[in-house]
Amino acid sequence: MLRLEKIKKTFNPGTVNEKCAVQDLSLHLKPGDFATIIGSNGAGKSTMLNAIAGSFYVDEGSVILDGKDITFTPDYRRSRVIGRLFQDPLRGTAPHMTIEENLALAYLRASDGKAPFSRISAKNKAFFREELALLEMGLEDRMKQPVGLLSGGQRQALTLLMATMMPPKILLLDEHTAALDPATADIVLDLTKRIIAQNHTTCLMVTHNMQQALSMGNRTIMMDDGKIVFDVEGEERARMSVSDLLEKFRTGAGKNLDNDQILLSME
């Protein structure tokens, strides 16, 4: 499904701010894999997702999706087959457009990217309403309201729906519940699990919560200094505790995990 072959990305090369964000990084995701990614700030998690999404071109290596080399495919073309959510609920939607208009844009982009806005039919609108009803937030009765009037949790749920309404080949979740209050974050996480399970979506999810890293999906990846230091799935993962995960990080990275946000999530 997804293959990263020895990718490398350096920002600000040749300057005092030079930073090698990912180096010699390889990863293979099978169809239907739901992998959680954990690591300290600067470990390369978001950079890896940006490389997959096409936010920049990698300096070295290849990005292959569903057997097709997309290393130099621009991000707007990749967005037709790659869904993405960010940490900030304000990203991913147009606040001055209505819920219906945002859904229409997402639908047309994922369909073929060519149909004019006027091609949205009454049948399409009925489909949008049905999909919104599945969120159980009452948004199906607010389709004519601007997205800017929604709460952060509602916007993130809407963005999740927009990213998966036409199931993507891969879904990228970059700490998509980190900015939400705990109760709202749980709702969005439940929606995430339900939608991914329904569509059998291949997914990469960055999280700072170690318990989530072990309980969600079928695979856990730990990163440090732009590299993958630990990758576990199956029975070994099912038997692991958070303490085991910390020990694996220490062994793979050669140091203790010292990120306060991650460590506090253990309490």
- The full DSSP string for 139-155 is GGG-TTSBGGGS-HHHH
Residue 130's identity, in one-letter code, is: E
Nearest CA among 5, 55, 34, 20 for reference residue 237: 34
Number of neighbouring beta carbons within 10 Å of residue 241: 11
Nearest CA among 61, 7, 3, 10 for reference residue 27: 3
Which stretches of the chain score pLDDT less than 50?
A: 113-117, 260, 264, 267
pLDDT at res. 116: 47
pTM of the model: 0.88
Taking only the tens place, the pLDDT of each residue in 86-109 is 988 888 889 999 999 999 988 887
pLDDT at res. 250: 84
pLDDT at res. 30: 95
Determine the Cα–Cα distance for residues 253 and 224; give it in Å rounded to an integer. 7
pLDDT at res. 122: 86
Contacts made by residues 229-233, CB under 8 angstroms, sequence distance 24+: 229/253, 231/27
C-alpha distances in angstroms, 146 versus 52, 124, 183, 184, 241?
31, 19, 24, 20, 44
| pLDDT-above-70 percentage for the chain | 93
pLDDT at res. 267: 46
**What is the token pair recorded at 105?**
């844009």
- Judged by DSSP in three states, 228 sits in strand
Sign of CA dihedral 179, 193, 63, 248: positive
Residue 22 makes CB contacts below 8 A (sequence gap 6+) with 7, 8, 9, 44, 47, 48, 51, 58, 226, 227
